[in-house]
Chains A and B, each alone.
Chain A
């Protein structure tokens, strides 16, 4: 009996040491951030369900942990997944030391000079494409002719969100001959929700009625501001159900909205978050792990856009009923136009200034 148990254990040990192992190293946000880390982890779990691989997560408590955590993970795993812009330097320090291990960097740009180590696959996103949809939607839905943008710190991904958003508004203006304005502010933080809320209140006071927040957790404050302003306008209390909220919106003919970012934040305040501009980090981590598992790992940089399911508009589970069917159809068409290359969304200031939407809807 004892021998049999021992044998089974031994076999388990042998099998497990051959099993394909993926370790994710979270950034300081950690699992539960309902954003980057959770999204990446969801993609890894999807790969686990599909291919039966071993998965594990190492949570980083401080920025100074990144190098240690990545190194420890690299010693054990076949694939190490590094999450987030802040881990860039650590990743490029550690990866060359473990050439046998494959590294996946989510939302990490190539180092200065552009040389990506051979065992590293980086994923970036065309944030501007998902922001384009919410920009178009905001311009179509505003009753005041003014929409807001609140950025965290003006780093490249945030700026790409802004270019796309402004391009979306511009496209609507071009197509409908309208003149919707965008007001822009930066909180200089991705965590100070109080500041996000204050800035949203300021933009609402300036006349904006829909605000897109690309500012991490500051966005929670923006969503709270939208809810607070709407509650007052509608004259209902915080526990009112979705049906009441929607009725009141149509009754008043106006409302205040926030637009979420990165993950689907519509549920955070149903009826007050118009939509979310999604960044599908889950798809990126899934693609990375899948390719590594199937021995198709190439290394280098991949930029995921709408075509690759890297970015998209949220499903608008709670607010779809608020939006005229024609606008939804137009956004669907724009999605098709972007995927098929008919429309290129600007990702820098210059292109944004020269951008004009040359779109004729076939309906």
Chain B
């Protein structure tokens, strides 16, 4: 099979779409988190850290309670707490948001590595815990093609798309969304019109904590049933790229995340389909990045962040 045949073959298999969704789901959640925070004018590059702490807490709570849903709840609480720290120093004290977020990433990896020893008795990776059960849709199981994609999907995959729709509605169709955008574009005017800039920004950052925690929990108790120290292995940063590529819009971020997911899935499939030497397969692993660069440089017009993104607001 030559490369083109292999690519077309891959695109014609249901597993490609399944892998694409699996790989895009955490990116969608985290990118939405980024959108929420940045639309209100607070940059949040700590998504990686919040995902990590979310993934870790989810496993810890599941480990102690035996119930993965409580694990998810724990992840959300931990995610919100971490995001609150970011909000507190960058909104209340006008700290540099990049520095604050970097600190959070370090705290997250330090904390999870440190706590693994007393809780599980060893570092590196935790024990296996219960996973959130997969959704089975009997009606779709016998439909050709689609049946094989959706026969057993994590509920997180569906939740991710629901979250996209809700976020879009919230940000573009509700008064709260209008205020969020106003605060992100021109906090001073918004303040003059009686919008509580601080409160709206807190809301945006805390929501990003919730969504990034979902992304982390999906990685640990959604798919694997275990936390590993290297989780989420850079997915938080790829989600930031998806957010920018999607022009700070929930739907755009979703498409970008799906694109990253698709290139990841394509690489994974081509690895096994193509009969090429190992050195070439190592290069194949660069495919997602190459596709990203091509798309970013060629196909997407100029993206524009919210005008007050990253600028602390201080009342006069």
Contacts and interface: CB of A to CB of B under 8 A. Distances in A.
Interface residues of B, number: 42
A201 B15 contact: yes
Interface string A199-226: 1011101101000000001001100100
B282 A188 contact: yes
A241 to B, nearest CB: 16
Contact of B272 (A33, A194, A202): A202
Given A154-B279, A224-B225, A33 B128 contact: no
B272 A197 contact: no
A220 B233 contact: no
A187 B226 CA distance: 19
A143 interface: no
B22 interface: yes
> How many interface residues does chain A have, given as a range?
35 or more
Interface stretch (A72-80, A178-186, A302-310): A178-186
B123 A199 contact: no
A250 B253 CA distance: 47
A194 B123 contact: no
A232 to B, nearest CB: 6
A191 B121 contact: no
B108 to A, nearest CB: 16
A197 B231 CA distance: 14
B242 interface: no
A58 interface: no
A221 B224 contact: yes
A229 B116 CA distance: 30
A183 B130 CA distance: 31
B90 to A, nearest CB: 28
A151 interface: yes
Interface string B105-136: 00000000000110011111100101100000
A56 interface: no
B124 A30 contact: yes
Contacts of B219: 194
Contact of B268 (A30, A202, A217, A238): A202
Contacts of B125: 32-34, 217, 220
Contacts of B122: 30-34
Interface string A25-40: 0000111111000000
B281 A185 contact: yes
B63 to A, nearest CB: 15
A154 B268 CA distance: 15
B14 to A, nearest CB: 8
B18 A201 contact: yes
A224 B223 contact: yes
Nearest to A199: B268
A191 B231 CA distance: 8
A202 B13 CA distance: 10
Contacts of A206: 272-273
Nearest to B116: A32
Interface in B196-247: 219, 223-226, 228-231, 233
B86 to A, nearest CB: 25
B292 interface: no
A192 B233 contact: yes
A193 B226 contact: yes
Contacts of B226: 193, 220
Interface string A155-166: 000010010000
Contact of B282 (A33, A153, A195, A198): A153
Given A33-B124, A232-B152, A194 B224 contact: yes
Contacts of B281: 154, 184-186
Contact of A194 (B128, B223, B265): B223
A9 to B, nearest CB: 32
Nearest to A205: B15
Given A198-B19, A202-B15, A224-B224, A185 B282 contact: no
Contacts of B264: 195, 198
Contacts of A187: 285
B22 A186 contact: no
A268 interface: yes
B228 A29 contact: no
A356 interface: no
13 contacts: A29-B124, A31-B123, A34-B122, A193-B228, A193-B231, A197-B223, A199-B271, A202-B271, A202-B272, A205-B15, A224-B224, A228-B152, A238-B130
6 cross-chain pairs, A with B, having the tightest CB-CB distances, nearest first: A32-B122, A185-B271, A205-B15, A188-B285, A191-B230, A154-B278
Given A203-B272, A228-B152, 11 more contacts: A32-B121, A151-B278, A185-B271, A185-B272, A191-B233, A194-B23, A198-B22, A199-B268, A206-B273, A221-B223, A232-B152
Interface of B: 13-15, 18-19, 22-23, 116-117, 120-125, 128, 130-131, 151-152, 219, 223-226, 228-231, 233, 264-265, 268-269, 271-273, 278-279, 281-282, 285
